[in-house]
Amino acid sequence: MLSVRLPMLTGLASPLARWLRGAGLGLALLALSACTPHTAALVAALPDGTVPILLSQVKGMEEGNRKRVAELEARKDWEGLTKFAEENLTRDRNSSDWWTVAGYAHSQSGRHRRAIECYSEVVRLAPDDMLGWNLLAQSYRDAKQPLSAVKTLNNAHLVRQGTAETWFLLGESYADLDRDLPAASAYREAVQQNGEFARAWFGLGRAYARLGRRAEFEQALQRLERLDAPLAKELAELRPASRR
């Protein structure tokens, strides 16, 4: 199955890019793999703000196909990548790899409904791969359907224990709905699983700020200051007023 590596993002143009950047997930998105370990850190920096898939370590795809996908991605030829993925899907409709590539290409083209359909197939074919659930949920968020994102992630947690990333994305989805109490609960789960998850600490602090919980906000801020000073500065601007 595929291992997807992401270089660093700087522009963060798309919602998906913002999520990948915000997830604080490091330099590698180990995607498209039923045996994928927890995605410990997605990273951060690409000149144009897109999120490329560098398929240098793809295990479930022929070498020629891997190179072709990498070439199309490098050129940001999303129409070409979509066509290539769909051609391969006509040969093997049960390949979660190709459904993921197709979903990625559609999401980069702004075709969120079609991306949702593709990622739904990934989830059906590889339900134990939490990344598939995450990408499906994020596509719902991109399509301005945060309630569907929440339902998707809650269903993911019924399949297997959630990762820090699934809990973080659930917090983001609840935040989209202005439901700060369940958002805070989801962010807490994320930081309990990964105490270095800066964006989850930011989300937790933001939820506490909206709830007016000053003490908990300060605790989240202090932790974030040790992890990401610029992000902590942004959070500090949300500090709730002291109660008299």
In order of start, what are the domains of the chain with their CATH numbers? 174-244 (1.25.40)
Average pLDDT over every residue of 9-36? 34
Average pLDDT over every residue of 148-173? 94
Q: Which of 25-34, 98-107, 140-149, 204-213 has the lowest mean pLDDT?
A: 25-34
- Which residues share a beta bridge with 54? 5
Q: Is the per-residue pLDDT at 149 higher than 50?
A: yes
More confident residue, 16 or 194: 194
Q: Is the per-residue pLDDT at 32 higher than 90?
A: no
Q: How far apart are CA 130 and CA 153, in angstroms?
A: 9
More confident residue, 32 or 131: 131
Q: Which of 8-17, 151-160, 231-240 has the lowest mean pLDDT?
A: 8-17
pLDDT at 184: 98
Helical packing angle, 164-176 and 198-211, nearest 10°: 30
Question: 5 to each of 99, 207, 244, how far by Cα in Å?
Answer: 17, 31, 50
pLDDT, tens digit (0-9, with 9 covering 90-100), for 6-16:
322 223 333 34
**How far is C-alpha 120 from the geometric centre of its chain's CA atoms?**
15
Residue 243: pLDDT band with limits 50, 70, 90: low
Question: 9 to each of 49, 63, 68, 77, 131, how far by Cα in Å?
Answer: 5, 27, 23, 18, 19
pLDDT at 206: 98
Cα Rg, the chain, nearest whole Å: 18
pLDDT at 97: 87
How many other CB atoms are there within 10 angstroms of residue 200's CB atom?
31
